[in-house]
């Protein structure tokens, strides 16, 4: 079959010595350039990455320019090489070489020493950057220089002031707030109907109270339950437990912390509406709680009252839990999702739910992810922010209220360093220290001094 197809593609030339014909030599296609060049920090240091779309033995030239205009060869790399660590600040590009033939160069990327600092990369051997920004139902928490700021709806006292300057991390629940301090204590306030504040009772608190736990380094707030990660790698939970979300093998509510069964060496936690994810230092993920929409990613809809390992993915570096869906970020910068897919929140181009992980389309070099109730945001290595999923209040920041089943870049935002997603709003922190918000503003959670929804990012001015 191969010979027949080849023959049908030949042209024939007449020769002077008779009617005999001879095939012409096949034309060689021009040498193609490598596919899109990106600057990634997912390997632990800034690295140029590209895709080799040449099937034969082709070497690669790394090109360097100080001004982004005049490029010169810096390094010749052998075939099958698809990465290079830049040596100095400036602009880089790559082109293919085959014998004496040279392709066009790729797009150029700029490398600066600050790249690592502006976009820190999570690894599978250490905890991700502390959550300095968190969004709940209609309020937000933000840490700056050890001090916590809160803005938005205050119906349960959840935006009360915390007079401490040693705050390292915050978590905004549905209508409750949490802060972790440098000495490992947890402060909690707001709604406490199910004991989600962890102080041993179910009384709402309009001012911060200390939770009954210590040696905490990270915290995550669900809707009516809370998770804490201790410095020894164990996970503790409290609050509502109707679907096993506390992970201790039963469904009894707890107003004080109980240890989640069977978890050790945990470096990251994520709490959703009624389910949870925990990331181990070895890059594996463990899930438990409510699974009515397959949000545990186990291939079923059976809930789990103790943690179960998620299979099929490895080298995971970040996790995020929405109300009925979950997100996973791997060390390659790829994002996976599973669970409910109403409004396209899985980002795979459809609205069909998936009980196992599916890849989010169109995202590369992702550095950070966050899941809201039904929408998501992601930061890429260039500092751009993408959003997808439910958009009824403009929480995607795209200038409209159209749901998106694949990620779309938010325009006007550059050098993002942190993101958060609430019920129907989103907040972005940029490298210059500015906060931008979008979506529902019924409780003033956009922080612009109004209660008007915004379909595109507006700057927070009320802090």
* pLDDT tens figures, 165-214: 999 999 999 999 999 999 999 999 999 999 999 999 999 999 999 999 99
Helix (H, G, I), strand (E, B) or coil at 353: coil
Res. 64 pLDDT band, cuts 50 70 90: confident
Measured in residues, the chain has a length of: 463
Query: Quick check: 287 and 245 in contact, CB under 8 A?
Result: no
Q: Is the pLDDT of residue 9 over 70?
A: no
What is the per-residue pLDDT for 22? 39
- Specify the DSSP element, H or E, that contains 90: strand 90-98
Please give the Cα distance from 361 to 100 (Å, whole number).
38
What is the per-residue pLDDT for 127? 40
What is the per-residue pLDDT for 36? 63
Please, what sign has the CA dihedral across residues 3, 8, 12, 18? Answer: positive
- Specify the DSSP element, H or E, that contains 389: strand 385-389
Entry pTM: 0.74
DSSP letter for each residue of 7-41: HHT--EEE-TTSS-EEEPPPPPPPPPPPEEEEEE-
Instruction: Name all domains of the chain by residue range, CATH numbers in brackets.
Output: 35-115 (2.60.40.10), 133-459 (2.130.10.30)
Query: Quick check: 260 and 299 in contact, CB under 8 A?
Result: no
The two three-digit tokens of residue 371, written as one number: 């899941």
- Specify the DSSP element, H or E, that contains 239: strand 235-239
The Cα angle at residue 167 between residues 161 and 168, in degrees rounded to 5: 140
Cα–Cα distances in angstroms (integers) from residue 382 to residues 38, 67, 107, 366, in the given order: 9, 19, 14, 9
What is the per-residue pLDDT for 157? 97
State pLDDT tens for residues 341-360.
Answer: 999 999 999 999 999 999 99
At 118, phi and psi to the nearest 5? Answer: -75, -35
What is the per-residue pLDDT for 212? 97
Which residue in 229, 234, 122, 231 sits closest to 171, CA to CA?
Answer: 229
At 343, phi and psi to the nearest 5? Answer: 65, 10
State pLDDT tens for residues 324-344.
Answer: 999 999 999 999 999 999 999
């Amino acid at each position: 079959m191969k010979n027949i197809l080849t023959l049908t593609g030949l042209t024939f030339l007449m020769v002077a010595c008779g009617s005999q014909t001879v095939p012409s030599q096949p034309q060689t296609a021009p040498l193609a350039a490598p596919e899109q060049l990106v600057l990634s920090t997912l390997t632990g240091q800034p690295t140029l990455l590209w895709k080799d779309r040449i099937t034969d033995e082709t070497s690669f030239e790394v090109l360097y320019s100080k001004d982004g205009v005049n490029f010169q060869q810096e390094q010749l790399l052998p075939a099958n090489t698809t990465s290079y660590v830049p040596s100095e600040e400036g602009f880089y590009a790559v082109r293919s070489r085959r014998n004496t033939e040279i392709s066009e160069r790729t797009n150029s990327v700029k490398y600066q020493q600050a790249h690592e600092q502006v976009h820190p990369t999570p690894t599978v051997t250490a905890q991700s950057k502390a959550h300095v920004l968190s969004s709940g139902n209609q309020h937000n928490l933000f840490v700056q220089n050890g001090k916590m700021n809160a803005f938005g709806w205050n119906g349960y006292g959840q935006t009360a002031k915390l007079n401490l300057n040693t705050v390292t991390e915050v978590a905004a629940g549905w209508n409750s707030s949490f802060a972790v301090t440098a000495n490992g204590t947890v402060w909690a306030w707001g709604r406490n109907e199910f004991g989600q504040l962890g102080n041993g009772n179910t009384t709402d608190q309009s001012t911060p109270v200390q939770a009954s736990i210590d040696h905490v380094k990270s915290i995550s707030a669900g809707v009516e339950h809370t998770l804490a990660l201790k410095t020894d790698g164990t996970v503790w939970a409290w609050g509502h437990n109707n679907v096993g979300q506390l992970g201790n093998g039963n469904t009894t509510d707890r107003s004080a912390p109980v240890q989640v069964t069977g978890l050790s060496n945990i470096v990251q936690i994520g709490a959703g509406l009624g389910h949870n994810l925990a990331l181990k230092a070895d890059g594996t993920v463990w899930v438990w709680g409510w699974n009515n929409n397959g949000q545990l990613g186990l291939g079923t809809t059976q809930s789990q009252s103790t943690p179960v390992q998620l299979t099929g993915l490895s080298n995971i570096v970040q996790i995020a839990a929405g109300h009925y869906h979950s997100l996973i970020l791997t060390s390659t910068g790829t994002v996976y999702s599973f669970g409910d897919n109403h409004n396209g929140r899985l980002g795979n181009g459809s609205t069909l739910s998936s009980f196992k992980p599916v890849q989010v389309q169109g995202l590369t070099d992702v550095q950070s992810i966050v899941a809201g109730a039904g929408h998501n945001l992601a930061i890429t290595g260039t500092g751009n922010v993408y959003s997808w999923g439910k958009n009824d209040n403009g929480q995607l920041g795209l200038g409209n209220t159209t749901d998106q089943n694949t990620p779309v870049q938010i325009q006007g935002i550059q050098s993002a360093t942190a993101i958060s997603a609430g019920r129907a709003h989103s907040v972005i922190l940029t490298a210059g220290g500015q906060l931008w918000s979008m979506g529902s503003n019924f409780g003033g959670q956009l922080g612009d001094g109004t209660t008007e929804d915004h379909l595109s990012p507006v700057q927070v001015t009320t802090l």
